Amino acid sequence: MQQVQIGSLSLQLNRKPIKNLHISVLPPDGRIRVSAPEQMTNTAIRMAVISRIPWIKQQQRSFAAQPRQSDREMVSGECHYLWGKRYRLNLVERAGRHEVKVSGGKIHLFVNPGTSVENRAVVLTEFYRAQLKAQVEKRLPEWQQRIAVEVVDWGVKKMKTKWGSCNIAAQRIWLNLELAKKPPECLEYILVHELVHLLVRKHDQTFRAHMDKQLPNWQDIRDLLNKMPLAFHPW
């Protein structure tokens, strides 16, 4: 991507074989990404960005004000989230299989003595992955039937700027691992959002009509998700 400076704004410019220009302000730091048609002139791109500066700066202010989780040290007493609820981490060092259990308002992380901070994080990450996959497997069949679509494949991965993505041609969806930390309705919203994209590519009026039909309160859930603490990814 090309780096472009417009006044005080630094942005990433990506020219694509598309019809319309798209401006994205990305979490967590408000980075600006512009996707522009290949034939669009630099002047036209600059004018389009300048016209959206108030919106861009408002988005950046929102990200700056959004709460963030502190650095993860993976020690007892640390705060972690599961399905929107706050838990204290209880680190238990003992010989045996690494595992995670949840009880009594705590996430109990069992690891071998001397396990590194990075490997403790891996154990917890895989726990989150299993939790999220179990919920998707439970919810996906019902939503596929209701929306009258079917995915060929789906998966869970860490994503820096999106809660989910959809490859329409391959009929495959990806879900952000961080959704395991958010309230269950947030997962449902993203799952429905990506499934609807199998019917409608753009976020246009038709897309919104489908969302309104399937999940009438989807905009409230979207706002809730965007207000939740952003994750800290040291690894």
Tens digit of each residue's pLDDT (9 = 90 or more) over 80-135: 999 999 999 999 999 999 999 999 999 999 999 999 999 999 999 999 999 999 99
Q: Is residue 73 part of a domain?
A: no
Residue 75 has pLDDT above 60, yes or no: yes
Number of domains present in the structure of the chain? 2
Question: Of the residues 65, 89, 120, which one is the last residue of a structural domain?
Answer: 65
Structural domain range at position 16: 2-65
Q: Is residue 216 part of a domain?
A: yes
Asked whether the beta carbons of 92 and 110 are under 8 A apart, the reply is yes
CA dist., res. 90 & res. 107, Å (int): 6
26 shares a domain with 97: no
CA dist., res. 29 & res. 202, Å (int): 25
Which of the 8 DSSP states describes residue 71?
Answer: P
105 shares a domain with 182: yes
Q: Is residue 28 part of a domain?
A: yes
Q: Is residue 6 part of a domain?
A: yes
Q: Provide the edge-to-edge strand list for the sheet that holds 153-157.
A: 153-157, 172-176, 164-167
User: Which comes out higher in pLDDT, residue 158 or 231?
Assistant: 158
Nearest to 110 by CA among 136, 83, 87, 92: 92
50 shares a domain with 114: no
Question: Of the residues 65, 95, 117, which one is the last residue of a structural domain?
Answer: 65
| The pLDDT value given to residue 68 | 55
126 shares a domain with 50: no
107 shares a domain with 197: yes
> pLDDT tens across 20-73, in order?
999 988 866 788 999 999 999 999 999 999 999 999 998 888 777 665 555 668
95 shares a domain with 26: no
214 shares a domain with 158: yes
pTM over 0.75, yes/no: no
167 shares a domain with 145: yes
213 shares a domain with 101: yes
* β-strand partners of 13: 2, 34
Q: Is residue 232 part of a domain?
A: no
Q: Is residue 234 part of a domain?
A: no
> pLDDT tens across 127-156, in order?
999 999 999 999 999 999 999 999 999 999
56 shares a domain with 167: no
| The pLDDT value given to residue 223 | 84
Q: Is residue 152 part of a domain?
A: yes
Segment among 134-138, 167-171, 223-227 with least mean pLDDT? 223-227
131 shares a domain with 20: no
84 shares a domain with 164: yes
Q: Is residue 153 part of a domain?
A: yes
